Amino acid sequence: MIELGPELARADAMLDMKRYDQASGLLSRLVAAQPESARAWCLLARAHLGGGRHQQAVDAANRAVSLDPSDEWPHRLASNALLHTDNYPEALRAGMEARRLAPGHWQAHICVAQAALGARRLDIATAAATQARSLAPNEPDVHFLSGKVSLAAGDLDAARAHQERALALDPAHSGAMNELGRIRLRRHDTRGAVRHFIRAARVSPTESVYSRNIDVVILRTVSRMIYIFTLAALLLIWIPVVAHLGRFPFAIGFTVLGAIAVGAFAWMVLRLPPEARMLVRRTLRGRRAAAALAVAVGGVAVAFVAVALVPASELPQILPIAVIATIGARIGAFAILRGAARR
């Protein structure tokens, strides 16, 4: 007969050390030997959640619920696990059940707010976050989630205030730093956003989402530069038709355009923190970014060469082709960069 107490304590210690796989192994053996222990099933659900095995976490949590339906913890675990499987309605239902069983627990209200946010029920999310703040005004996670709800509702100032409160309570709250970065992005402050993402990555380097956010910002910046470049090119290719300029000035114009684009991009990159500059270098060396730049520059170059080399009498026929080439280059480059950002 396995002694449950010490084994559960071992499992709890493993979970605290984030040894989710070892904890899963131990707890699986425990629940096989003593399947009536709701606590063991709850810990197993936690282990599966930590290990990214969300469906198994749901199953374990549901088993715990069946053994002890009056305990709020298995309902909360089930809600968290269902969120990760994108089953928001069920996650909300489980969260509400946890809240019904333990209305005084701020964690249950947070659970409801998270699930409601996923299900796009902002009214429920806002009410739950408010209730959680009244129960636990000094919990950083409460303010963190309130900030996310405010951001989803479009209230950027309230979102920022909540995240700054979370950071005041826990200066190492990397989630709050990340959210501040997202708020900056909404305000089109790329540099500020990158600084917050870097802070978050510095505090929790093992969380890949922060460096991923920086990659996305870099790709968006590259995409914006390509947009401006191709737009300027689109305007420039009309000049020979409208102003009857010679080829030489036209070639100079193209060169100046390219230099301005590169210069502007370099200036933006130099203003970034050193870590972000290294990431920019890495991103530009990547296949997708390089391909997007090649498509954009190549398409524009083809359009310019066509306009520059063709006799003036044939310009009106060539111009639409040049415009299509330029627009096509922009669309192609964007498609490649979007694929890179989704990866």
Handedness of CA 114, 120, 124, 130 (dihedral sign): positive
- Asked if residue 272 binds other proteins (CB under 8 A), the reply is no
Q: Which residues contact 54 (CB under 8 A, 6 or more apart)?
A: 48, 81, 84, 85
Instruction: Please identify, using beta-carbon distances, which residue of 22 and 130 lies nearer to other proteins.
Output: 22
Gap between the Cα atoms of 207 and 272, Å rounded:
21
Q: How many residues bind other proteins (CB under 8 A)?
A: 25
Cβ 327 vs Cβ 224: under 8 Å: no
Compose the 171-210 pattern: x for residues touching other proteins by CB under 8 A, - for all others: -x-------------------------x--xx--xxxx-x
CB count within 10 Å of CB 7 equals 19
- Asked if residue 211 binds other proteins (CB under 8 A), the reply is yes
For the chain, the straight-line distance linking the first and the last C-alpha, in angstroms and rounded, comes to 49
Which of 99-107, 132-140, 149-157, 277-285 is the region at the interface with other proteins (rule: CB under 8 A)?
277-285
Longest Cα separation, the chain: 96
Which of 252, 266, 278, 324 contacts other proteins by CB under 8 A?
A: 278
**Within 294-333, which residues bind other proteins (CB under 8 A)?**
none
Which of 19, 93, 220, 224 contacts other proteins by CB under 8 A?
A: 19
Instruction: Please identify, using beta-carbon distances, which residue of 144 and 210 lies nearer to other proteins.
Output: 210
Instruction: Please identify, using beta-carbon distances, which residue of 175 and 299 lies nearer to other proteins.
Output: 175
Render 69-131 in DSSP notation, one character per residue. TT-HHHHHHHHHHHHHTT-HHHHHHHHHHHHHH-TT-HHHHHHHHHHHHHTT-HHHHHHHHHH
Which of 16-24, 51-59, 143-151, 235-243 is the region at the interface with other proteins (rule: CB under 8 A)?
16-24
- Asked if residue 34 binds other proteins (CB under 8 A), the reply is no
Residue 157, amino acid: D
Which tokens go with 242? 């409208």
- Asked if residue 168 binds other proteins (CB under 8 A), the reply is no
Q: Angle 189-148-49 (CA atoms, 0-180°, nearest 5)?
A: 120
Q: How far is the CB of 326 from other proteins (least distance, A)?
A: 33
- Asked if residue 285 binds other proteins (CB under 8 A), the reply is yes
Q: How far is the CB of 317 from other proteins (least distance, A)?
A: 46
- Asked if residue 138 binds other proteins (CB under 8 A), the reply is no
Which tokens go with 338? 């979007």
Residue 127, amino acid: A
- Asked if residue 59 binds other proteins (CB under 8 A), the reply is no
- Asked if residue 120 binds other proteins (CB under 8 A), the reply is no
List residues near other proteins by CB under 8 A: 6, 9-10, 12-14, 16-17, 19, 22, 172, 198, 201-202, 205-208, 210-211, 275, 278-279, 282, 285
